[in-house]
């Protein structure tokens, strides 16, 4: 999980376009929430709310 978050920072540093950075952040956040959903027994609605904050 830490690798996913650090990889996002590294990738965003190399991207020039703001739109591409936003798409990358949204994709990484979705993958992060899916990873948490798969690794924990929490309800998906609670994870989405936690990921949004």
User: Quick check: 5 and 33 in contact, CB under 8 A?
Assistant: no
pLDDT of residue 1: 61
Check: CB of residue 32 under 8 Å from CB of residue 4. yes
Residue appearing with tokens 């990738």? 11
pLDDT digits (tens, 9 = 90+) for 1-51: 677 678 888 888 888 888 988 998 888 888 877 877 777 776 767 766 776
Pair 47, 33: CB distance under 8 Å: yes
pTM of the full structure: 0.64
Other Cβ atoms less than 10 A from the Cβ of 51: the count is: 14
């Amino acid at each position: 999980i830490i690798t996913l978050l650090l990889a996002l920072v590294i990738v965003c540093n190399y991207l020039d376009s703001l739109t591409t950075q936003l798409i990358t952040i949204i994709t990484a956040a979705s993958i992060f929430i899916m990873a948490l959903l798969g690794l924990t027994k929490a309800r998906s609605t609670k994870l989405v709310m936690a990921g949004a904050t």
